[in-house]
Structure 1
Amino acid sequence: MTDLKGARGRAASAKRRRLTAAAARVVHQQGAERTTIADIARAADVPVGNVYYYFKTKDELVAAALSEHAHQLELLTAELDQLPDPRERLTRLVEAWVSQRDVAARYGCPTGTLAAELDKRDDGGLDAEAGRVIRLLLNWVERQFGELGLPDPPGLALTLVGAYQGMSLLANALRDPEVMTSQGSRLIAWLNALRDGPG
């Protein structure tokens, strides 16, 4: 009996995980307003009726999509944290952004585009959650600049993350992935030109 319960629990967890990943992907591609619960169910290969067992509303699925973006960011930064040098971590972050240039040219930054869309709503809940995901990235980048001993780590973090958002937006607006490539190279050159602080 316990084994059966455990198997059911694992199956339910796997289904919820598929729905969350599908929500992140579909909402990024279509936007929150155009996406339906049926779209997400289809992408996750889950019957529409089963979705309501895990998520009661589309907004809950949008929140799950944001949670998935945060999870993916945490996986990436945990991997980058294995590198010994903060400048190398930041360079690899930019390289990771550039590696997604085709997706950015087609759909923009997953979190940035969703944050802009959600900000136009009046409910004031999900847009704050999108801001929290962007804040996770800013905080991680700020720590790297702090480890380098550079002055004004928060300002440098805003510059780097703002440049990423800008190049994603332009790549998407122009449907040109090379915007990401060229601007990524500029960002890496900028990072290499920053001088380490004392100590």
Structure 2
Amino acid sequence: MTDSQAAAAAKAPRTPRGGKRERLVEAAVRVFHEKGVEKTTLGDIAGAADVPLGNVYYYFKTKDQLVEAVVAAHHAQLVALTAQLEELPDPAARLKALIAGWVDQRETAARFGCPFGTLTTELDKRDDGLDESAAKVMRALLDWTAAQFTALGRPDAPALAVELVAAYQGMSVLTNALRDPDLMTTQGHRLQTWIDTLR
């Protein structure tokens, strides 16, 4: 999940407490981002969700099942975000709003990196198929981005989509490594200016 997806999720209306399963998944999204999957225990998730540890096993028999739920949550956030962006008047505005959402989350990126990018990288080191599930979410972001470039009349839309998403992931890594949120601000502005040149 991108930082802008996290921002959209944070702004989405929620019930005061939500169901236990929803709270566990929401907590897992946050804790996996902050600590990584391998360093996170089910006890960590239970504590962050304010749910007794024994209840975790009612919803998720294994940590891998919880990871699957987190990947699905990232996908749902992406679907919600892109639906919201589709309300904007033109594809360039949608792409620039996507970039603005990434920049808005620069403080989080400086501390922990991209929520979904870091998860995808971690899952890639495993051989249990969860990396393929994560790749589908990243592919969905690329497909949506390519559709915007296609709507701009660009015959090279797929390549431009890769360039944009790769630029975001790169600036997210650098922002995190250097603990410099201003880097994301500067690079985000550069990307928005780049979008304007493609009309």
Q: TM-score, normalised by structure 1?
A: 0.89
1:175 corresponding residue in structure 2 = 179
CA deviations on 1:139-164 (whole Å, 9 max, x unpaired) are 11011011111121100000000000
Which one-letter code corresponds to 1:117 in the other structure?
A: E
Q: CA deviation at 1:118?
A: 1.3
Q: CA deviation at 1:122?
A: 2.9
Give the number of equivalent residue pairs.
Answer: 182
Q: What pairs with 1:72-151 in structure 2 (closer than 5 Å)?
A: 72-123=77-128, 125-151=129-155
1:155 and 1:28 mapped to 2: Cα distance? 28
CA deviations on 1:85-128 (whole Å, 9 max, x unpaired) are 010000000000000101111111111111111111233x1111
Higher relative contact order (CA 8 A, sep 6+): 2
Greater mean alpha carbon deviation, residues 24-33 or residues 63-72: 63-72
SS in 1 for 2:19: helix
Is there any run of 5+ residues in structure 2 with no aligned partner, and where?
1-17
SS in 2 for 1:122: coil
Q: What pairs with 1:1-40 in structure 2 (closer than 5 Å)?
A: 14-40=19-45
Taking every aligned residue pair, what percent have the same amino acid on both sides?
61
Q: Over alpha carbons, which structure has the higher Rg? A: 1
Q: TM-score, normalised by structure 2?
A: 0.89
Moved over 6 A (4+): none
1:165 maps onto 2:169 in alignment: yes
Which one-letter code corresponds to 1:180 in the other structure?
A: M
1:4 corresponding residue in structure 2 = none
Is there any run of 5+ residues in structure 1 with no aligned partner, and where?
1-12
